[in-house]
Structure 1
Amino acid sequence: MSDSDSTGAGAGGGTEADTGAGAGEGAGVLPQQAREIADGYAVGGAALDLGALLWDGTCLPGAQIRIPLGMLNRHGLVAGATGTGKTKTLQLMAEQLSANGVPVLLSDIKGDVSGITAPGPPGDKVAERAGQVGQQWEARGFPCEFYALGGIGPGIPLRATVTSFGPVLLSKVLQLNQTQEQSLGLIFHYADAKGLDLVDLKDLRAVVAFLVSDTGKSELKGIGGLSTATAGVILRSLTAFEQQGAGDFFGEPEIDTAEFLRSAPDGRGLVSVLELAAVQDKPQLFSTFLMWLLADLFHDLPEVGDLDRPKLVFFFDEAHLLFNGASKAFLDSITQTVRLIRSKGVGVFLVTQTPRDVPGDVLAQLGNRVQHALRAFTPDDAKALRATVKTFPNSPYDLEELLTQLGTGEAVITVLSEKGAPTPVAATRLRAPQSLMGPFPAAELDAMVKGSSLYGRYAHAVDRESAYEKLTAEHEAEQRAAAEAAAVDTAVKGRKAGTQQKAAKDEESLVEQVVGSGMFRSLARSVGTQLGREISRSLFGTARRGR
């Protein structure tokens, strides 16, 4: 982490303060405006220590910038240009949450957050940063579980069934238009009602193919039907999606999101690190999958109201990918999820480059802000900078100048106080993480993953009987019945003896045989009993059977 000084000066001026170990420990007298800012971050209860106040280019360790632990379910935003220290800020916050007994779910896009499980090496730069911000630095590692989407990359395989993923999120991944999304919703509705479990992508393909076949095309006629053209688009999208290797992400055993709420035996919160470096070329998939995890937590967790500390804090990296190309209905669902999951004890931090990446209705739900430096190299950059400044409360700083001059590991911060009011804007030099600031060695990471108690539960995919197997078996039964019918018909025509009445009876028996043995009666018998068991779907259409 770089130790560059901020050169942003307070608009109100003020004399420089002597540096010291911390408030009440021999620190010099703070300038009036700096003290007013510092007073806004005084916390009576448990809190995350982010760093020390910067004023007139000087770091003041007697003015600590903190976030009350009870306010973390009011959500937040960590933003800044590439290379400004956002990842280390996530690591710093995750460490302290774990130390306070709060589980964390953290996405690792570049593969460099895995070091949180190991103690960081001491060094001159770390010691210098700790001295500047009044930090008692000690090398520490934190309890972690590592996950990987579909087992691609190092980690316990993370899968979801197509049924639970739902039509809205799947439409986002497949980049379907509104009409195609509505048609996909009908397909899910039919599969839910008929008890056809959509476990993996071949199950969904089988149901789509059945609903446009001569036998199945009438099934949706009463509720709008499914056009052959739309079905073709969906099938082609599924095929292309699977050819990209995405088929591994859908299937069983499906992850139980309650795994993310666990604590280590020593009482520290477990840090669940989702390793995404191997799939970073599939941004639509991993960003939407992260949204599924959040929606599933919302679906399962009970209402708890305001707690003294959250049950889980969820860091959503590369958040702008979630909003790119999203429909209004999709954005509405995100807004509703973020707004309502607070009362279930979950805090959500979106991580992106500028607040402009986040829709206004969602941004309004983010009470805690950590804004790293922005660059203004182009007219678009300058416009983004001005828009960012407008999202902050009034400040004694010249924020438009300050945000371009912050060094790596420095940020402009405003959070919610213990009373729920916004704190004064504070330029801050952030603390150094205590864990390893880099990737954990691959061989040791692999050994840790395979040694996890969860590995045996989720490591190997299971392909049980589901929609594909049911529909395939019934199609084969129909073909056998048709073959038997053809054989009987040939035999009837070849007979030289027998009366016309007997032949008619044989043909009548043949029709009964075809209808009785084919998909008609077989489908009704195998899935007709599932009527009335349609899955109840929540936001984004996510759901699970038997919950």
Structure 2
Amino acid sequence: MDKKETFFNYITEGNTTKGDFIPVGAAMLDGETITGAHVKIPLKTLNRHGLIAGATGTGKTKSLQVLAENLSDKGIPVLLMDIKGDLSGLAQPSPGHPKITERHEKIGIPFEAKGFPVEILTLSEQNGVRLRATVSEFGPVLLSRILELSDTQAGVVAVIFQYCDNNKLPLLDLKDFKKILQYATEEGKEEFADAYGRISTASTGAILRKVVELEQQGADLFFGETSFEVSDLQRIDENGRGYINILRLTDIQDRPKLFSTFMLSLLAEIYSTFPEQGDADRPELVIFIDEAHLIFNEASKALLNQIESIVKLIRSKGVGLYFVTQNPTDVPEAVLGQLGLKIQHALRAFTAKDRKAIKLTAQNYPDSEYYNTEDVLTALGTGEALVTALDEKGRPTPLAATMMRAPMSRMDILTDAELKELLVKSKLVKKYNETIDRESAYELLNKKIAESEAEEAKEKAKKEQEELKKAQSKQRTTTTSRSRSSAMNPIVKVLTSATFIRSVFGILTKVMKK
């Protein structure tokens, strides 16, 4: 048995699976594609998370596209974080190319061109289904984490949420939250002091500044109604294919706090609402985070801690998380150690730092008698990758340098006309894109303050009226008293007596006659 035949058996036996699977390509030996030596990813272990890595231009996004397409074909919904804006072409079939045909002949998998059911989502004012969540749904713990608050400030936020719950004040958007913060230290400070203790204006001021910073990154568009229901990420079309939900993030690369806010909310909501799946035969949802290095480099510590926790826990909900980045070292070790599937495209060794990174990367893969992993990492061509997954018993499959299959959909973006047509047909656009600003904490507190001010004005007017009446009564009493006093004066009595008046008038009459 020659080396090629031995290698073929090594790959095919190591990729044997009893359940359903996704064939991603054929194994390569010494630069030659071994037709029929298919590298397979079992659906059963796709909730064990994964990594797609490689230098720019080596084919990472196309590998992501292949996985998303095949998951959709298997009836498994997908969520893609599209930071570069080059994934919308999944909705249209590939135009085909002789090189694609040649590639698939080498692999031993027939090429089929087709489009897939796609939903375009957005966090900003771009075209697409608007994703929102209310402040109440986000909760005091996650909100405190994303705002990076101190323990004291987080305690204030917890009190604010408790007050709103007790007084039936809906916290829907950031203006609601800012209003209740202001109320807690101004108009309602006595009310808060009686129920929860006095709240420091220094604490609420610091929290407000953090909220304003979040608003400047566009979070005011994210917080509000109508809230997005994560169950809508699990839709299946009329042909039994899972929807590929593409979240367009091209305009928020420089706004990491907005992305952190969304990620924290989404992962927490999925974890809290999805039922436990146990050891299921297939995932319920697979999430791909493209250009993940931007997240890990820019995200807050709260997001990193949350992702680390979620990666460890969320697989029990039947959800797989896949990070797409340039180098595995971009991903924190605590997260990297939890990733079962690894698709590693070529790395470039231009500097000493690059060579060190390649050496570290090679150590993340199983040993193979057929490859020197460090050498292969720099010799892979575009559309080729080192692949290892987990088999159905949770063991790593043989490491294989793989000729990856080509995407069945278009490897380009949709035109404006195609995007418009897609959005016109979307049921979710009709469901979520109407902005609702119902009566909530902001309006209710303003009304409460206005009523309180009106009541204070009424009381003030009443007191002024009473004081006026008292003053008038006092004045009448004084006048009466003076009148009585005058009446009692002997001189006044003589001057006002009838005898005195008649005498005076008698004297005046005599004088006038003369």
TM-score, normalised relative to structure 1: 0.80
Deviation at 1:354, TM superposition (A): 2.4
Instruction: Name 2:267's counterpart in structure 1.
Output: 294
Deviation at 1:291, TM superposition (A): 3.6
The answer for unaligned runs of 5 or more in structure 1 is 1-13, 17-29, 500-547
Closer/same/farther in 2, CA of residues 227 and 253 from structure 1, 3 Å limit: same
Quote the Cα distance in structure 1 between the aligned partners of 2:269 and 2:383: 34
Deviation at 1:243, TM superposition (A): 3.6
**1:290, 1:316 within 8 Å by CA — same for their partners in 2?**
no
2:389 to 415, 434, 451: 415
Aligned-residue sequence identity (percent) comes to 47
Q: Alignment partner of 1:454: what SS?
A: helix
**1:76, 1:367 within 8 Å by CA — same for their partners in 2?**
yes
Deviation at 1:259, TM superposition (A): 0.5
Q: How do 1:264-275 and structure 2 match up within 5 A?
A: 264-275=237-248
Instruction: Name 1:402's counterpart in structure 2.
Output: 376
**2:148, 2:302 within 8 Å by CA — same for their partners in 1?**
no
Structure 2 residue 35 is matched with structure 1 residue 71:
no
Q: How do 1:472-511 and structure 2 match up within 5 A?
A: 472-495=446-469, 496-498=471-473
Q: Alignment partner of 1:418: what SS?
A: coil
Instruction: Name 1:442's counterpart in structure 2.
Output: 416
Quote the Cα distance in structure 2 between the aligned partners of 1:439 and 1:137: 21
Quote the Cα distance in structure 2 between the aligned partners of 1:321 and 1:225: 41
Structure 2 residue 123 is matched with structure 1 residue 142:
no
Instruction: Name 1:311's counterpart in structure 2.
Output: 284
Instruction: Name 1:371's counterpart in structure 2.
Output: 344
**1:98, 1:142 within 8 Å by CA — same for their partners in 2?**
yes
Deviation at 1:494, TM superposition (A): 2.0
**1:172, 1:288 within 8 Å by CA — same for their partners in 2?**
no
Structure (1/2) with the larger helix percentage:
2
Instruction: Name 2:229's counterpart in structure 1.
Output: 256
Instruction: Name 1:157's counterpart in structure 2.
Output: 130
**1:287, 1:318 within 8 Å by CA — same for their partners in 2?**
no
How many residues matched?
473
Deviation at 1:97, TM superposition (A): 0.6
Quote the Cα distance in structure 1 between the aligned partners of 2:269 and 2:66: 27
- Choose 285-294 or 39-48, whichever is displaced more: 285-294
Quote the Cα distance in structure 1 between the aligned partners of 2:357 and 2:151: 30
Instruction: Name 1:382's counterpart in structure 2.
Output: 355
**1:74, 1:342 within 8 Å by CA — same for their partners in 2?**
yes
Deviation at 1:361, TM superposition (A): 2.5
- Deviation per CA, 1:405-435, whole angstroms, max 9, x where unpaired? 2222211111001222111111111100000
**1:51, 1:428 within 8 Å by CA — same for their partners in 2?**
yes
Quote the Cα distance in structure 2 between the aligned partners of 1:239 and 1:328: 19
Closer/same/farther in 2, CA of residues 328 and 442 from structure 1, 3 Å limit: closer
Q: Alignment partner of 1:51: what SS?
A: strand
Q: How do 1:98-497 and structure 2 match up within 5 A?
A: 98-150=72-124, 152-171=125-144, 173-176=146-149, 180-213=153-186, 215-216=188-189, 219=192, 226-324=199-297, 331-396=304-369, 397-495=371-469, 496-497=471-472
Letter in 1 for 2:419: L
Q: Alignment partner of 1:237: what SS?
A: helix
Deviation at 1:49, TM superposition (A): 1.1
Deviation at 1:362, TM superposition (A): 2.2
**1:172, 1:326 within 8 Å by CA — same for their partners in 2?**
no
Letter in 2 for 1:425: L
Letter in 1 for 2:313: L
- Choose 429-438 or 382-391, whichever is displaced more: 382-391
Structure showing greater radius of gyration is 2
**2:80, 2:244 within 8 Å by CA — same for their partners in 1?**
yes
Quote the Cα distance in structure 1 between the aligned partners of 2:347 and 2:155: 40
Quote the Cα distance in structure 2 between the aligned partners of 1:332 and 1:267: 36
Quote the Cα distance in structure 1 between the aligned partners of 2:357 and 2:203: 39
Deviation at 1:57, TM superposition (A): 1.0
Quote the Cα distance in structure 2 between the aligned partners of 1:226 and 1:15: 79
The Cα RMSD (Å) is: 2.5
Letter in 2 for 1:279: I
Quote the Cα distance in structure 2 between the aligned partners of 1:285 and 1:412: 34
Quote the Cα distance in structure 1 between the aligned partners of 2:150 and 2:8: 52
- Deviation per CA, 1:221-275, whole angstroms, max 9, x where unpaired? 8867643223212212322332443311111011111011110011111111112
Deviation at 1:378, TM superposition (A): 2.9
Letter in 2 for 1:307: A
**1:168, 1:330 within 8 Å by CA — same for their partners in 2?**
no
